[in-house]
A and B are shown apart, each in its own frame.
Chain A
Amino acid sequence: MTDSTSTRASSASGSAVPMVFADGVSKSFGSNTVLKSISLEVQRGEVMCLVGPSGSGKSTFLRLINHLEVLSAGRLSVDGDLVGYRESNGKLYELQPKEAARQRRDIGMVFQKFNLFPHMTALQNVSEAPLRVKGEPRARVEERARALLDRVGLADRADYYPAHLSGGQQQRVAIARALAMEPKLMLFDEPTSALDPELVGEVLDVMKGLASDGMTMIVVTHEMGFAREVADSLVFMDGGVVVESGDPRELLGNPKHERTRAFLSKVL
């Protein structure tokens, strides 16, 4: 598959700046602290899986990267740019909504509940953001949207409304929609958790294809098989902290930490 994502990923791989850099990232809602000092790096072209029990802060961390939630403490940058802030003379300035939106353009996000726009067809869902946000000409956008739908195996479903697609198909449209903005980083928030078991595979296959094309991905998931097979690194989180991280095969096969072992014994 020759797509812009693969060429860009390889051309940029020489750069030293990590795609995502988190240093002491914390997040609290009122007095409830959900993330405590998370520090990690995601390199270009790397696929990182975040696993852990529910409520461990994985999704919140993902949403911080996209600035859907506001950081409470620490530093978080994507491709060298601070998320949500501009720094000058050692002071942080909140970004204008317009600037924040510009940052999000380059970060694709896929949600657990798909969140497709129900009043638009699959093709319109995929075309909407390039048309409205980037202002690209319609002909080019639709051509690319069709190519993307073809890539996720839904070329014949372009004119279907989401309500007439299966869960797996909806999630694949959602992936195509995120890719339409030609992102440099893709965030997946439990993309298969809302799916019937027999539909999980088709979504994971699309994600595997993306990974092999060199897309940088952070995936919150409970699919340990996917993590073992596709991920370059695995991070186990519990209670808002990173308990353990490392090579997925090693971590899954030989967890060092007691909490990791307890969790894995339940899900494997």
Chain B
Amino acid sequence: MSAANPQSAGRGTSPRGRAEIPDDADPKAIKAIKLRHPYRIVFAVLLVLTFVLFIIDAAQRPAYDWPTVGQYVFDRRITQAAFNTLLLTVYAMVIAIVLGVLLAVMRLSPNPVVKSVAWFYLWVFRGTPVYVQLVFWGLIAVIYQTIDIGIPFTEPWYSFSTQATLSTFVLAVIGLSLNEAAYMAEIVRAGLLSVDRGQEEAATALGMSWSQTMRRVILPQSMRVIIPPTGNEVISMLKTTSLVTAIPFGGELYTRSRDISAETFNPIPLLIVASIWYLFFTSILMVGQYFLEKRFSRGIGDRRPDKNSGAPAPTGTLSIAGVSQPTVLHATGDTGHGSGRRQKR
């Protein structure tokens, strides 16, 4: 098949060898009757019908009590609780991610002492239910009335009362983040291990220290693997905040809506109100995750080199778990051979 026009030679629409094409003509695009999928349409129609029926039914069902939902969804107490839930999630996750990275790096450290500390932390915080941990944090003031800073068995330099210093909100953040850090540590560790060993060797050979190698070379590359499960954890955390009632911190969304429904004797509409807010936050988080993944797929996947360097202008696909996936190359005028780097060890 001698293609007169090289631009159309590689198009996937060209028929291959089958149709008879005159040598001097461009290969013609296929004109075929599309394969029909009648059952798809049937199923779709059935599903839509069922859904519409459910909606019509739900709209009329008195137990849902939609007017009450409308009344409470922007109620000051609810919006404040929703904000608290968001705040708890953000604080707990930020601390958990920082601590998780630290623990993961510690677990991979050549230092056996540091390694054991990280292992022990994981053993304790991953091995007990988060609810139990939260109850413990709630009782911290009973267990330790004061926290003293100083040399043991001597007069403390500074001493403060646990009850007075640590509010239930702070305890909730501590409880959630310390538990989450154990899970984040494993996610980060998986990400670090996904980076080719050659990267560490190359950085070491250039004279970079271990911490420089981690910060500049290994961690940025592992982000691609770390971000998707971390997005999961953030969303999971948003919902886990409902457990801090165990502390007891009552200012978050779920507990607040239960409190209100305890006054109105009408629990169902308030559960819907809480769900609406949870879904709203989750949707925002998903959008954020999408952009983060794009940012950290730099240099990987379908992306044109940016001429003006600096801020990259990513285009195209993002690769989620594609550690060893083949790279899509752009025609840059060269014989493309970029995927050799990604050959498996």
Query: Does A167 contact B206, Cβ atoms closer than 8 Å?
Result: no
Query: Does B303 contact A195, Cβ atoms closer than 8 Å?
Result: no
Query: Does B206 contact A119, Cβ atoms closer than 8 Å?
Result: no
Q: Provide the bound-state CA to CA distance between A98 and B210, in Å.
A: 9
CB distance from B342 to the nearest CB of A (A): 8
Contact of A123 with B by CB under 8 A: yes
CB distance from B330 to the nearest CB of A (A): 6
Query: Does B298 contact A119, Cβ atoms closer than 8 Å?
Result: yes
Q: Provide the bound-state CA to CA distance between A66 and B203, in Å.
A: 12
Given A159-B309, A163-B338, A194-B340, also A109-B205 (CB < 8 A): yes
Query: Does B299 contact A118, Cβ atoms closer than 8 Å?
Result: yes
Contact of B332 with A by CB under 8 A: yes
Segment at the B interface, from A4-12, A78-86, A127-135: A127-135
- Residue in A118, A158, A165 with the greatest tally of chain B CB atoms within 10 Å: A118
How many residues of A sit at the interface, in one of the four size bands? Answer: 35 or more
CB distance from A136 to the nearest CB of B (A): 13
Complex interface bits, A175-202 against B, C-beta within 8 A gives 1, otherwise 0: 0011001000000000000111011000
Query: Does A167 contact B207, Cβ atoms closer than 8 Å?
Result: no
Chain A residues whose C-beta falls within 8 Å of the C-beta of B300 in the assembled complex = 118-119, 161, 163
CB distance from A26 to the nearest CB of B (A): 22
Out of B206, B299, B341, name the residue touching A181 (CB < 8 Å): B206
Given A117-B217, A118-B299, also A165-B338 (CB < 8 A): yes
Query: Does B202 contact A169, Cβ atoms closer than 8 Å?
Result: no
Which residues between 102 and 132 of chain A lie within 8 Å of chain B, taking CB atoms? Answer: 102, 104-105, 107-109, 111, 113-121, 123, 128-129, 132
Contact of A97 with B by CB under 8 A: yes
Given A166-B338, A167-B337, also A117-B207 (CB < 8 A): no
Contact of A170 with B by CB under 8 A: yes
Contact of B155 with A by CB under 8 A: no
Contact of A138 with B by CB under 8 A: no
Contact of A263 with B by CB under 8 A: no
Complex interface bits, B303-320 against A, C-beta within 8 A gives 1, otherwise 0: 111111100000000000
CB distance from A94 to the nearest CB of B (A): 13
Chain B residues whose C-beta falls within 8 Å of the C-beta of A98 in the assembled complex = 209
Chain B residues whose C-beta falls within 8 Å of the C-beta of A129 in the assembled complex = 206-208
Chain B residues whose C-beta falls within 8 Å of the C-beta of A196 in the assembled complex = 335, 337
Query: Does A164 contact B335, Cβ atoms closer than 8 Å?
Result: no
Out of B221, B296, B329, name the residue touching A164 (CB < 8 Å): B329
Q: Provide the bound-state CA to CA distance between A115 and B208, in Å.
A: 14
Query: Does A118 contact B221, Cβ atoms closer than 8 Å?
Result: yes
Closest A residue by C-beta to B208: A133
Closest B residue by C-beta to A130: B206
**Residues of A in contact with B (beta carbons under 8 Å apart):** 66, 68, 97-98, 101-102, 104-105, 107-109, 111, 113-121, 123, 128-129, 132-133, 158-170, 174, 177-178, 181, 194-196, 198-199
